[in-house]
Amino acid sequence: MEKRKAIVFIDGSNFYHNSKSLVDKPSKIDFKILSEFIIDKFQLELREIRYYNAIPDISDGESVYYKHMGFLEGLRKQGIIVEERKLKRIKELNIKIEKGIDVMIASEMIRKTLVEKKCEVCMLISGDADFIPAMQIIKDAGYEVIVCCPRYGFSNELRQGKFRYLVLSKEDLEKCLKQSN
């Protein structure tokens, strides 16, 4: 039987913060190994991995900026497609927030399945319920979205049975850590 084609969509910030409850250094998770682990669990064919993240401004500190950009470049060197937006600064509150990443992921999921026909399954690595409307559009069109996330931060709404899901355990994530050379 031919395996269904899947694209992995990673909500970088959401996954990073949700993973901190399970592993000391979520930045050491190898997204290629993680994607292959999840794809194998569902017996799918991996077509591509897409990673979405907001990037800091260099004015936030050169070391933070260059460390983050180096991390993203490392993903690109592995063949992972990286999509990014700048963090938005709200001067009145003196905070920075991620804006537009979820919409970018949702629209790409719809584009890759319904418009470009590049996959039959979207594998979403995020615990954010904001994706449910896009997921429902994909499901209504006869395709599938599977959601994966560590328990902490995994929306109950995503785990209510409308979509298949995988709760990632500490052991799962530890198997996906980069090996030290």
What is the C-alpha separation between 169 and 151, in angstroms, rounded? 7
Confidence of residue 94 (pLDDT cuts 50, 70, 90): low
What pLDDT does 89 receive? 65
Cβ count near 153 (within 10 Å): 16
- Supply the pLDDT for residue 91: 65
- Beta strands, E only, the chain: 5-11, 45-55, 81-86, 88-90, 95-97, 121-125, 144-150, 164-168
Average per-residue pLDDT for the chain: 89
pLDDT digits (tens, 9 = 90+) for 51-62: 999 887 777 778
Spell out the residues 6+ positions from residue 117 whose beta carbon is closer than 8 angstroms to its own.
none
Confirm whether pTM is higher than 0.75. yes
More confident residue, 101 or 58: 101
Q: How confident is the model at residue 157 (pLDDT cuts 50, 70, 90)?
A: confident
Lowest-confidence segment of 15-24, 123-132, 143-152, 164-173 by average pLDDT: 15-24
pLDDT digits (tens, 9 = 90+) for 103-143: 999 999 999 999 999 999 999 999 999 999 999 999 999 99
Kindly indicate the confidence band of residue 88, based on its pLDDT and cuts at 50, 70 and 90. low
Report whether pLDDT(164) > 80.
Answer: yes
Tokens linked to 157: 């709404």
